[in-house]
Amino acid sequence: MAWAKSLAAFVGIVCFALAGWAVFLPGSHDTLDRIGVLGPMRSLGLPVAEADQGGGGGRRGFGGGDDIAVVVKQTAMQEADSRLSAIGTSRPARSVTLRVDVTGTLIEIPIASGDWVEAGSRVARLNAESQELARDRAELGLRDAQSRLDRVAQLRGSGSASQVQIDEAELALSRAELDLRIAQYELERREIIAPISGWIGLITLEEGNLITANSEFVRVDDRSTLLIDFDIPERHVGRISAGDSLRASPLSRPGDALNGQIRAVDARVDQDSRALRLQAEISNDDDLLRPGMAFRVQLDLPGESLPSIDPLAIQWDRDGAFVWALGAEDRVSRVRIEIAQRRDASVLVRGDLEPGTFVVTEGVQNLRPGATVAPRQRLGPDGAVLEDAAIARSQPAQPEI
């Protein structure tokens, strides 16, 4: 029979605790009603407040009534931060691979690997003896054709030369000029000229090496500015445009943050990857970076405007997060929210909260839907006191006039 006495004692303790909970904590009425014990308590004569008493015997407020004393704070609208991060590969703003058009032997390389060259500088020369001879021959032919035309013109002045002879001399001069241009062109093809200013890459050939037509000789990079190509998901299309600022950090040195901007946006989304290609531009004036390096690119995108509330206002139950919103006649209602972004002193949420709505930050333990509250303080979004009930009561009444 000992177990029966223990069970009876346990049941008595539970009943006593539930009764005390119902009498002294009006906020428990919803829970007690759901488990089916609130009605029997009222029928047994326990002093349990009815639902229409606006607070159910809750803690007395500062106003001296039975309303629940709370502190409320005003909501404000703020833009949520939306940061996009991507990995991209850099390349120089301008880059040229120098090749030769003809086959020949390298006889002069006046530059070395890593040198800076100006546009129009000669970086290599091939053997060109036959081309030089052809040029000299063409120059002789041009002088001969010019002399012949001069003689025919003199004879024409004395009536000893016909128009046909003059036309033939002029045609021979034109052919000689064309032959000289061809010879000079073939001679120029034996030289490799830098078309842009930049840094010379590694030169693997030496003087005396045979190089064939269309072979790569060296690369010239203008890396004073680097371009970074990276992809973003298609959901961000229309939110980024040329000129937007960004930050780029080399993966090898994450602590080095460089400012840059979007230089170009691709005209179409890749239908396989569903991504949009972007091109960023960063400065490399100190020449510490190199093309081909991997970069982490970060962009701050404009976010949606969301209600900002005090973290103390957020409550939780089995259905998720909610806040107690202050409505007409100082009655509170439960408003479901979804946390969008946490900040140092506030939380951005999604929910049915209009700008300027007051939410309860203190005294939430005794609240239930429809309860009437007595705000002892109304705070603005920045925490400034808009109204203090205690101060208002301490002010002397103004005499009637």
Radius of gyration of the chain from its Cα atoms, rounded to whole angstroms:
44
Domain ranges in the chain with CATH number 2.40.30.170:
85-92+220-301
**If you average pLDDT over residues 19-37, what whole number do you get?**
64
Q: What is the largest CA-CA distance in the chain?
A: 157
3-class secondary structure, 120: coil
224 burial type by CB count under 10 A (0-12 exposed, 13-18 middle, 19+ buried): middle
Question: What per-residue confidence (pLDDT) applies to 59?
Answer: 41
**If you average pLDDT over residues 248-258, what whole number do you get?**
89
**With 80 as the cut, is the pLDDT of residue 8 above it?**
no
**If you average pLDDT over residues 159-173, what whole number do you get?**
81
Question: What per-residue confidence (pLDDT) applies to 401?
Answer: 43
Domain ranges in the chain with CATH number 1.10.287:
128-189
3-class secondary structure, 124: strand
If you average pLDDT over every residue of the chain, what do you get? 83
Report whether 78 contacts 310 (CB < 8 A).
no
Q: Which CATH number, 1.10.357, 3.90.105, 1.10.3470, 1.10.287, labels domain 128-189?
A: 1.10.287
Question: What per-residue confidence (pLDDT) applies to 78?
Answer: 86
Report whether 174 contacts 138 (CB < 8 A).
no
Residue 329's closest CA among 374, 369, 361? 374
Question: What per-residue confidence (pLDDT) applies to 13?
Answer: 75
What is the token pair recorded at 234?
Answer: 């298609």
Report whether 207 contacts 134 (CB < 8 A).
no
The 10s digit of each residue's pLDDT in 297-317 is: 998 887 778 899 999 999 998
The 10s digit of each residue's pLDDT in 362-373 is: 988 888 899 999
Question: What per-residue confidence (pLDDT) applies to 366?
Answer: 83
What is the token pair recorded at 370?
Answer: 């429809």
Q: What pLDDT band is residue 65 in, cutting at 50, 70 and 90? A: very low
The 10s digit of each residue's pLDDT in 316-349 is: 988 899 999 999 889 999 999 999 888 888 999 9
Q: Report the share of the chain in percent with pLDDT over 70.
A: 80
Cα gap 58→49, rounded to integer Å: 9
**If you average pLDDT over residues 221-239, what whole number do you get?**
91
Cα gap 226→233, rounded to integer Å: 23
68-79+305-394 maps to CATH 2.40.420.20: yes
Q: How many residues are there in the chain? A: 401
286 burial type by CB count under 10 A (0-12 exposed, 13-18 middle, 19+ buried): exposed
| CB-CB neighbours of 361 under 10 Å | 20
* Domain 85-92+220-301 superfamily per CATH: Efflux pump adaptor protein, beta barrel domain (2.40.30.170)
Residue 322's closest CA among 347, 304, 303, 305? 347
Domain ranges in the chain with CATH number 2.40.420.20:
68-79+305-394
**With 70 as the cut, is the pLDDT of residue 58 above it?**
no
Question: What per-residue confidence (pLDDT) applies to 337?
Answer: 93
Sheet holding 210-211, edge to edge: 191-193, 122-126, 104-108, 210-211
Strands 68-74 and 373-379: parallel
Q: CA 278, 263, 270 angle in degrees (round to 5)?
A: 20
